[in-house]
Amino acid sequence: MRTLFIVVSAMLMILWSRTGHSQDTLGHKKPQFSTFILPSTLIVSGLILNQDDVKNDVRNWVRDRYAIPNTGIDDMLQHSPMVMMYLGDLVGQRPVDEVMRQTRHLLVSQAMTLGVMLILKESLDVPRPNGARVSFPSGHTAYSFAGATVFYHAFKDKSKWLAYLAYIPATITGAYRILKDKHWVSDVVFGAGLGILSSQLSYHLNIWNSASVGKKDKINLSLGIASNSNGIGAYLRF
């Protein structure tokens, strides 16, 4: 538990210190807390739910109402935010340098998610509902929500409704981890917060920014799709 407190506190402190600022009418900077509230709420909620009596009550409630599904849909859905993002880039003909920037944020967020997840899993070694090891937190859920948050940043300027779309398969992924008796509800809630927090840190720390293409050297590339009498295909335009 001490490891959990240290890791989570460090991530939240970094996000807090790097939170973006806006200006009020007098020109004074004010912290924007929107990127901080959701992941911290989910993480704290996951910790509160991580009590044996609470976890067992939720599990018993689920088992009384739903049979364990014999499906691997959660294994596929965890990747869907990433797939949705690149399909959206292709359809929207997003410039390749922007696609590369998204990819960098995706890689950084997934690396942070994986690193923290492995540390917590091995140090806490919480038994799974089905009797297996290393339950806390849910890796499927964390991975999926990290990808969904990168998707949000990629499309929030185009449409707020579109930006939130990838959170739907991410939520279904977490729900199926509970239904399949692979994870406790606390694992899933905490994992969602961890994934979102990792992606927010990637954008606030702006890792690999120096590797971005500068304005003077910006290459005019774009991806897109086109159709004609011979069918539909993808193209790369310089």
pLDDT tens digit sequence for 110-164: 999 999 999 999 999 999 999 999 999 999 999 999 999 999 999 999 888 899 9
Over residues 5-64, the pLDDT tens digits come to: 565 566 656 555 555 544 444 444 444 556 778 999 999 999 999 999 999 999 999 999
| Residue extents of the structural domains in the chain | 38-211
Mean pLDDT score, 215-237: 45
Q: The whole model's pTM is what?
A: 0.80
The predicted structure's pLDDT at residue 219: 38
Mean pLDDT score, 186-196: 97
Over residues 154-175, the pLDDT tens digits come to: 999 988 889 999 999 999 999 9
3-class SS string, the chain: CHHHHHHHHHHHHHHHHCCCEEECCCCCEEECCHHHHHHHHHHHHHHHHCCHHHHHHHHHHHHHHCCCCCCCHHHHHCCHHHHHHHHHHHHCCCEHHHHHHHHHHHHHHHHHHHHHHHHHHHHHCCCCCCCCCCCCCCHHHHHHHHHHHHHHHHHCCCCHHHHCCCHHHHHHHHHHHHHCCCCCHHHHHHHHHHHHHHHHHHHHHCCCHHHCCCCCCCCCCEEEEEEECCEEEEEEEC
